[in-house]
Homo-oligomer: A and B are copies of this chain.
Amino acid sequence: MAPLDLSASSIELTRRLCDLESVSGNEKAIADEIEQALNRMPHLDVLRDGDLIVARTQLGRARRVVIAGHIDTVPVNGNLPTRFETVDGVEYLWGRGTVDMKPGVAVALKLAAELSSPSVDVTWLFYDNEEVTSDLNGLARLARTRPELLAGDFAILGEPSNGAVEGGCNGTMRFDVITRGKRAHSARAWMGENAIHKAAPILQLLADFEPETLTVDGLDYRESLNAVLVSGGVAGNVIPDECRVHVNYRFAPSRSAEQAEAKMRALFEPLGEFELKDMSPGARPGLDDPLAREFLDAVGLEAKPKYGWTDVARFSALGIPAVNFGPGDPSLAHADDERVPVEQITACEEALRAWLS
């Protein structure tokens, strides 16, 4: 293959990046190509950390923006190489990564190469291992080991948002509520104590719960509270001594992790043992920040809230307001028929260029 040509259209560049398979853990080849292409740009200061590439302008501007995207994908499932297809008059690029999130990466690469004198300093960031566990995540690694490289006044994550600006994200926590009983042969059930029956009020509480919608920095975050798994029992003739309800609480970014946990404990501790399984705090959209407002005005879009948890929360944890802004329908991410309307790629490219010029 010829080296990556960053002067190609962002659509062509998306195709090229998708066909360069880079399932999590296998990002070396794509990271090499990105590093080499950016190294050819004299206006960029390029660093590499594992398979993560940082390319920074150093123009002494008053403000710095971080524009980031992950270069890995979930496993390919017969959906590479990519192809173009037209459905109902709309042209799509189809295949793994065409939504999550090679087009966001393509737009960033193209503008990183093209804009030698943007209106703000830019830190372009291309990172590995976003689609796997948090301890492998390249952005998380950099935040731990070289946080100074993430410094900035505002961050844009090129995650698919249908070309809209999605601010912040809900937090998410998971926990078990456990009821206990006493085993007995079910022929003599009265010798035991049924743990599954004791879970009735837990499920009833969940069924009756009315989740709140909280307004944070002008955006409405809809919360949710759901049992996602339930399990209990030993065998068909044994009174069960344990039942576990695994609950997922998605909470607005105005609640801290501590507040969210306290709220859940208050609800469920009267009904069973409470075992916290994981906790990812949300991210405030930070749209009251002047830079964020300028960005919204420049791209001419109203911000919407992001419900799913994304890496914007890592910027938020560093005190940097962050939004999601990228081509592609997030509900097609990871799908076997993942595909992006190509005009969304061009529209994102133009909006970002207009703001940065």
Binding site for B on A (CB under 8 A): 170, 172, 174, 185-190, 194, 196-201, 203-204, 206-207, 211, 222, 224-240, 243, 245-246, 248, 250, 307-309, 331
Contacts and interface: CB of A to CB of B under 8 A. Distances in A.
Contact of A224 (B189, B229, B233, B307): B189
B206 A200 contact: yes
A194 B234 CA distance: 25
A279 to B, nearest CB: 13
A309 B187 contact: yes
B197 A200 contact: no
5 contacts: A189-B225, A200-B204, A229-B234, A230-B230, A230-B243
Contacts of A227: 194, 196-197, 232-233, 240
Contacts of A206: 194, 196-197, 200
Copies in the complex: 2
Contacts of A211: 189
A233 to B, nearest CB: 3
A248 B237 contact: yes
B239 A228 contact: yes
Secondary structure of the A side of the interface?
mixed
A204 B204 contact: yes
Nearest to A245: B196
Q: Lowest 8 A-B CB distances belong to which pairs?
A: A229-B233, A200-B203, A189-B224, A187-B308, A197-B207, A196-B227, A200-B204, A187-B307
A203 B207 contact: no
A176 B185 CA distance: 19
B236 A228 contact: yes
Contact of A190 (B170, B197, B224): B224
A307 B196 contact: no
Contacts of A238: 228
A214 to B, nearest CB: 15
Contacts of A199: 203, 230
B203 A226 contact: no
